[in-house]
Amino acid sequence: MKRKALVFATTFFLFLSVCGNVWSDVVDYNGSIMRPDHDTLRQWISDYEKAPKAPLDETIKSRISVMQAEGVTSSMSLLSHIPYLGADRNQGSCGNCWVWAGTGLMEIAHSVQNSENARLSIQYLNSCKSDEFACNGGNLSEFASWYRGEGLAIPWSNTNASYADGSGPNSSSIACGTISSSPNYPLSAFTAQTIVTTGSTTQAQAISNIKNVLNQNKGVWFAFWLANGTDWNAFYNFWGNSAESALWNPDNYCGHNWNDSSGGGHAVIVVGYNDDDPNPENQYWTVLNSWGTTTGRTTGLFRMKMNMNYGCVLHDTDGDFTNNQFQTIGISYGAVPPSVSTNYPADNAMDVATGTTITVTFSKAMNADTIKNTSFYLNNGATGSVSYNPATNTATLTPSTSLATYTVYTATVTTDATDAAGIHMAAAKTWNFTTGDGTNLVVNGGFESDLTGWTTVQVSGSSGTWTTVSSGSYPSTSPHGGTKLARFNSYIASSGAQTRLYQTTGFPIPSSAVASSLSFWMAHDSGYTADADQLQVQVSTDGSTWSNVGSPVMRNDGTTGWSQVTLDLSAYKGESNVRIGFLGISYWGNDIYLDDVKATATLTLTMNFAGSGSGTVTINPLSISSNVNCSNQIVGGTALTLHSAPGDNSIFSGWSGDCSGVGDCPLTMNADKNVTTTFTSISLASVHIVGGSYFDSLQLAYIAAASSCLIQVKAVELSTLDFTLNSGKTVTLEGGYDSTYSINNDYTTMKGILTLGTGSLTLENLIIK
């Protein structure tokens, strides 16, 4: 063999020397063609002939039979189950077509069985099959046997699992031990199966059998042998220089004599067929190769004539052998339970907006009937509706009311959720998040719900886009807060491309607002210093006209990392629909990253004090306290609790204005607020509700009293009393008490107008004048 190679190389070099020059190196010899010993050869023949026959579906068989008899045409394709086509499927100068073809069958089966299009690793077998290097060739039985031993397939995306042997090395470029097997797809069965197409099988039966397997959603391995260099050149020429619509006819190479040095075999995948054309000469199998693309063949496919001689043989000194072999695989992946891939808010997220929705994205398609508010819910008594989007495998829980501020919530997806095949989640998904202060006027300012609430529009050019990512790559950047950030793709977008990211719905800024501001975080880096990628903040009050606010913020400003930008929005006070926009401007440098956008308006809380007593009011959680009339500037949206504490010899008699009652007052600053607090001096208080507060006024006591209350009145003359009974309560007024309300042996005199409306009033020891 070496001698032949040497002769060939010498001849070739001479030829080139005559016809041209300057060929730096003429021929690459990537090793000798592997020749099996006789026992091995017999074993391979046996592998194919004795492989279990591919099971045929009788229903499909009958249907195909009828269609053939009636001349009904059809077509089908399994390409939707193959995750990568075209240039990505290229074995290069490594002779491992059999691994590419076998792996393609596994990918189809995985897609069909687990509803997940996953690209599987080629390199895994190349690196880890130790008995013989994959670039030296193999067959489907060998492939199945190796995987049976491994018991798992691994994704292409695992560490070191992507293809690295395209240069055709003598041994694998990647050490087996460096390839991560996590995650992986367990295999519970794996056999090579032969589709009966030869022997006494007629052409119609052979076609029917292949179609039968394809219609079971199984890929078909097609191995073919070409006897000599002339035939191979013809196939190379067909592949490299003809259009994708051209048909390859294997019969042109049928019956040729096998040549030891230039004959060879190749494996590809039949992924579909088309016999729409009633002329059998134009009916074809769709075949997926692993040779990348060519000028006229952009998806890496070729068409093979269906009306071919399936019993074709090549002649060898050992005898004839079948040169077209159709096989498939019997494979069972272990059931992969669904899981939650991503969730929003993220685990332990802080400062979550009170108006948020809760979303989970599952690893695979789910049974929508199992995604409901008993399998996806919040604790803390929050209720809401649950929906499921099958296009994105995403479930959304929308609370029926805004969540409480500063509250830890627990979200749960139970194992009652099942995938489309009825497989339950292996474990429930439970996580916590904490709501914030509710002051941000910008919904989804942290982009944790991706671009919900935001819209993008190309302003200049066509390549600028805004998206959300969990981390940036150009340069490497983590979100400023939460789990996502917004990215303008100036790393990719052509210089000059401009795209605006803006709020779909704006927010009001009250005219009474003391101030209003916008803040956001932008990442800076020192890459591509000559490229002035920048961000211009804009505002619109009508959704169509945009005005710049502040100067452009440069990505490359001499700093690195996140920094906060704050801009004044006071000019927009009184506007009812203020939209914030971010115009990304690309200079083809690095990406622009944006996070945690926040707009606020500052409002006024006016506190007044009334009554004969004294005391202090504290505004929580801001811890602002006052005992005199005052005005407080507070960020709009802040949820407050007002607490009153009476001073010495004083009692709290209640709230009025934007608060009421006699307990702590919850108050949300959604507008300017005005609150009056009344404190009463105990020594001067003439009225007391048993078990409750003291009052100067009988009318105030009546308002504060619950029905069936006893209201005690000192033995004094209430000289300016006007009293109206109108709230339907049943109360008793008992006069004549001493200064401590402990002894009742006198009378109270009431002067004024007593109006009796609704309710019931019992009077004791009272003189009405």
Partner 1 sequence: MFRNAILMTVPLLLLFFILAEAGTAPLRVGGRCEYARYSGEARIISIVEKNEDRYEVKFLFTPRTQIKAQPPLLLTEKREFLMLIDNSIYPNKAYLKLNSIVADKVFDCNIKVIIKGACTPRLFEFPSMRTVND
265 near partner 1, judged by CB under 8 A:
yes
Closest CB 455 distance from partner 1, rounded Å: 21
Q: Which is nearer to partner 1, 327 or 396 (CB)?
A: 327
Q: Give the amino acid at 10.
A: T
Name 688's bridge partners.
694, 712
Residue from 14, 27, 571, 706 that binds partner 1 (CB under 8 A)?
27
Residues 6 or more apart from 328 whose CB is under 8 A from it? 54, 105, 193, 195, 213, 218, 219, 220, 221
* Only segment of 187-195, 318-326, 515-523, 731-739 that touches partner 1 (CB under 8 A): 318-326
* Only segment of 91-99, 153-161, 409-417, 543-551 that touches partner 1 (CB under 8 A): 91-99
Q: Which is nearer to partner 1, 351 or 533 (CB)?
A: 533
First to last CA, the chain: 133
**Token code pair at residue 23:** 């060929």
State how far the Cα of 523 lies from the Cα of 343, in Å rounded to an integer.
24
- The answer to whether 581 and 501 have CB atoms below 8 angstroms apart is yes
Residue from 115, 239, 647, 710 that binds partner 1 (CB under 8 A)?
239
Residues 156-175 that bind partner 1 (CB under 8 A): 163, 166-168
Closest CB 111 distance from partner 1, rounded Å: 21
Instruction: Fill in the per-residue mask, 206 to 225: x = in contact with partner 1 (CB under 8 A), - = not in contact.
Output: -----------------x-x
Q: Which is nearer to partner 1, 203 or 495 (CB)?
A: 495
* Only segment of 36-44, 327-335, 538-546, 739-747 that touches partner 1 (CB under 8 A): 36-44
State how far the Cα of 110 lies from the Cα of 185, in Å rounded to an integer.
9
Give the sheet arrangement for strand 694-695, strand by strand: 694-695, 687-689, 710-714, 730-737, 760-764
Residues 98-127 that bind partner 1 (CB under 8 A): 98-99
Dihedral (C-alpha) 376, 379, 383, 389: value to the nearest 10 degrees?
Answer: -20
Closest CB 316 distance from partner 1, rounded Å: 5
Closest CB 293 distance from partner 1, rounded Å: 7
Closest CB 128 distance from partner 1, rounded Å: 17
Residues 241-260 that bind partner 1 (CB under 8 A): 241, 258, 260
229 near partner 1, judged by CB under 8 A:
yes
599 near partner 1, judged by CB under 8 A:
no
* Cis previous bond, 250, omega within 30: no
- The answer to whether 599 and 533 have CB atoms below 8 angstroms apart is no
Closest CB 249 distance from partner 1, rounded Å: 17
30 near partner 1, judged by CB under 8 A:
yes
* Only segment of 45-53, 500-508, 611-619, 674-682 that touches partner 1 (CB under 8 A): 45-53
CA angle 489, 495, 497 (to 5 degrees): 65
59 near partner 1, judged by CB under 8 A:
no
85 near partner 1, judged by CB under 8 A:
no
Instruction: Fill in the per-residue mask, 286 to 305: x = in contact with partner 1 (CB under 8 A), - = not in contact.
Output: ----xxxxxx----------
38 near partner 1, judged by CB under 8 A:
yes
233 near partner 1, judged by CB under 8 A:
yes
Residue from 68, 113, 136, 339 that binds partner 1 (CB under 8 A)?
136
264 near partner 1, judged by CB under 8 A:
yes
Residues 321-340 that bind partner 1 (CB under 8 A): 321
Residues 432-491 that bind partner 1 (CB under 8 A): 463, 473-474, 489, 491
Residues 6 or more apart from 669 whose CB is under 8 A from it? 603, 605, 634, 635, 636, 637, 638, 639, 640
21 near partner 1, judged by CB under 8 A:
yes
To which residue do tokens 């119609």 refer? Answer: 204
Does residue 596 sit in helix, strand or coil? strand
Residues 6 or more apart from 701 whose CB is under 8 A from it? 687, 688, 689, 693, 695, 711
Residues 6 or more apart from 82 whose CB is under 8 A from it? 104, 107, 108, 111, 117, 271, 288
State how far the Cα of 104 lies from the Cα of 91, in Å rounded to an integer.
13
Closest CB 7 distance from partner 1, rounded Å: 13
